Amino acid sequence: MTVPDRPIARYIDHTLLRPDATEADVRRLLAEAADHRFAAVCLPPIYAALAAEALQGTTVAVCTVIGFPLGYVHPEVRKAESRIAVAEGARELDTVLDVSWLKSGEDRRVLDDLAGWVTALRAEHVGLILKVILETALLTDEEKVRGARLVAESGADFVKTSTGFAKGGATVEDVALLAQTVGGKIGIKASGGIRDFGTALAMIGAGATRLGTSSGVLILTEAQEQDA
């Protein structure tokens, strides 16, 4: 059985990225995150400032998404969107790799885009956590490996499986493949379809060091019930 190396809450990015989410939904997410001490909240950029204010004085980081969910953004737009998010209080950024370039074999363009993004933000801000989403459901295993290697080479902190908006989310097999590929050089964020404690444990066992899920409270409840 997998034994997490820290409390399960500290693996979780408590997530709300539905396009129909209201401000009331966001405020509920923030209250849950503060109460349960999740690693981060992950929410739309328009709510970064609200989250930063609500979570001030807590250990919960504010994470938002960049170039989301398709990754079809000009490299300068990726940087500009990120700068706005950081100015409004985000300290973790999850951006989507340009899947079209990756599938077209344009590895140099992918790397230049991501490395330029990482370098620019690192030069301007200390302590940011930068994650890159591959959208594994759209990739072959060979493309997943290439993508993960490019993310690691770019200097980002995490490679992430999924946006939650494609035809599939994280799988144990994909997490294990990414973990094997990056060899501990960067973190692995499993995201998409993680809705119970058993699945969370399986992802951690496969190598995930962070979990993106909208079911964080349920996962914690199930974990507590198993410990009782």
Which pLDDT tens digit goes with each residue over 69-84? 999 999 999 999 999 9
Set 79, 131, 144, 160: catalytic member: 160
pLDDT at 1: 56
Q: Is 103 a catalytic residue?
A: no
88-143 confidence digits (pLDDT tens): 999 999 999 999 999 999 999 999 999 999 999 999 999 999 999 999 999 999 99
Q: Is 160 a catalytic residue?
A: yes
pLDDT > 80? residue 176: yes
* Number of neighbours of residue 87 by Cβ within 10 angstroms: 11
pLDDT > 80? residue 228: no
25-34 confidence digits (pLDDT tens): 999 999 999 9
Q: Is 144 a catalytic residue?
A: no
Sign of CA dihedral 155, 161, 164, 165: positive
Token code pair at residue 67? 């170039």
Give the side-chain half-sphere CA count within 13 A for 29.
Answer: 30
Helix, coil or strand: residue 188: strand
Sign of CA dihedral 169, 173, 178, 179: positive
Q: What band does 5 get if pLDDT is binned at 50, 70 and 90? A: confident
pLDDT at 2: 67
Distances (CA, A) of 57 to 43, 127, 202: 19, 17, 32
Q: Which CATH superfamily is domain 8-227 in?
A: Aldolase class I (3.20.20.70)
pLDDT at 89: 98
Set 13, 94, 98, 113: catalytic member: 94
**Dist. CA 160–CA 67, nearest whole Å:** 14
Q: What band does 226 get if pLDDT is binned at 50, 70 and 90? A: confident
What average pLDDT does range 146-159 have in this prediction?
A: 98
The C-alpha angle 107, 111, 114, rounded to 5 degrees, equals: 140
Reported pTM: 0.97
pLDDT at 3: 67
Sign of CA dihedral 224, 162, 186, 214: negative
